[in-house]
């Protein structure tokens, strides 16, 4: 069994799971702590009890109800949980629960519609166990021209290379993002079509145009809990430069929209 991701959960008021406007208020106020889970619940989880308590004190106001009384500090319960007094009556308190955080949904909202990531390698046959927080280094069940086994990353690159007559093309060619130029001034970067082949001995290891196999949904979420998997549908070949920009971010809407439009590769 995978080790649970233990975090501090604050008790939200209302029904943000169904109330989109309320959910938006919590996200605006508490940021990346709040998310929809694979099971369909909406909650806010924190790495530290201090951060959880600081935001818990704002729940009344953020939810549109009466603001909680301020000036109180969280008190330990003794089992990892904390309580926070929110009114003049000592019995008026809320519980900050230390618990296993549920897996964040891998559906990404595109124009407010939860959308599954379905990248161009989605038709490759899965022969290994699909897990969250897993790199593309498990067996692909395929071999190269020398009969040597290929891992998932190597197989994805080979499929891409074969489709483009020996070249490796970015699956996000034309994608733009904010970056800095050589003078450290703000500019816009654009993903190139043809990338440097990592299997070419002449390609520098850290060249920004070197091709890498990217997890569209990152292996870990913004709370450092397991998230994206090693499923082929979650793979995309992009430059090292773009991969650094997208690293451990919630996939931008335009990234998912573009990657889902790429036609599937045929091995």
pLDDT digits (tens, 9 = 90+) for 10-63: 999 999 999 999 999 999 999 999 999 999 999 999 999 999 999 999 999 999
Average pLDDT over residues 150-178: 98
pLDDT digits (tens, 9 = 90+) for 75-84: 999 999 999 9
Q: What is the pLDDT of residue 190?
A: 98
Gap between the terminal Cα atoms of the chain: 33
pLDDT band at 3 (very low <50, low <70, confident <90, very high): confident
- Separation between Cα atoms, residue 125 and residue 174, nearest integer Å: 28
pLDDT at 112 over 90: no
Question: With contact defined as beta carbons under 8 Å apart, do 236 and 119 qualify?
Answer: yes
Q: Where are the domains of the chain?
A: 6-100, 108-261
pLDDT digits (tens, 9 = 90+) for 220-258: 999 999 999 999 999 999 999 999 999 989 999 999 999
pTM of the complete model: 0.92
pLDDT digits (tens, 9 = 90+) for 170-204: 999 999 999 999 899 999 999 999 999 999 999 99
pLDDT at 117 over 90: yes
**Residues in CB range of 182: below 8 A, 6 or more apart:** none
pLDDT at 1 over 70: no
* Nearest by Cα to 177 from 162, 190, 164: 190
Q: Could you give the angle at the alpha carbon of 128 between the alpha carbons of 221 and 2, nearest 5°?
A: 45
Q: What is the pLDDT of residue 16?
A: 96
């Amino acid at each position: 069994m995978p080790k649970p991701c233990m975090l501090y959960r604050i008790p939200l008021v209302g029904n943000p799971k169904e109330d989109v406007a309320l959910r938006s208020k919590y996200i605006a106020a508490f940021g990346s702590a709040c998310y929809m889970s694979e099971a369909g619940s909406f909650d806010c989880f924190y790495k530290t009890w201090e951060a959880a308590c600081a935001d818990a004190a704002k729940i009344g106001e953020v939810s549109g109800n009466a603001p909680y009384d301020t000036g109180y500090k969280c008190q330990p319960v003794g089992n990892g949980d904390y309580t926070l007094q929110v009114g003049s009556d000592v019995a008026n308190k809320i519980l900050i629960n230390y618990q296993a955080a549920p897996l964040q949904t891998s559906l990404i909202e595109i124009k407010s519609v939860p959308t599954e990531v379905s990248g161009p390698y989605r038709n490759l046959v899965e022969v290994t166990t699909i897990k969250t927080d897993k790199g593309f280094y498990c067996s692909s069940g395929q071999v190269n021209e020398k009969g040597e086994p290929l891992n998932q990353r190597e197989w994805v690159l080979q499929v891409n290379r074969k489709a483009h007559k020996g070249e490796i093309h970015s699956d996000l060619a034309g994608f733009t993002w904010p970056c800095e130029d050589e003078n450290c001034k703000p500019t816009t970067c654009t993903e190139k079509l043809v990338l440097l082949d990592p299997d070419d001995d002449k390609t520098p290891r850290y060249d920004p145009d070197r091709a890498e196999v990217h997890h569209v949904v990152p292996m870990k979420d913004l709370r450092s809990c397991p998230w994206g998997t090693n499923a082929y549908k979650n793979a995309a070949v992009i430059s090292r430069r773009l991969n650094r920009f997208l690293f451990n971010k919630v996939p931008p809407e335009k990234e998912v929209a573009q990657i889902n439009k790429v036609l599937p590769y045929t091995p």
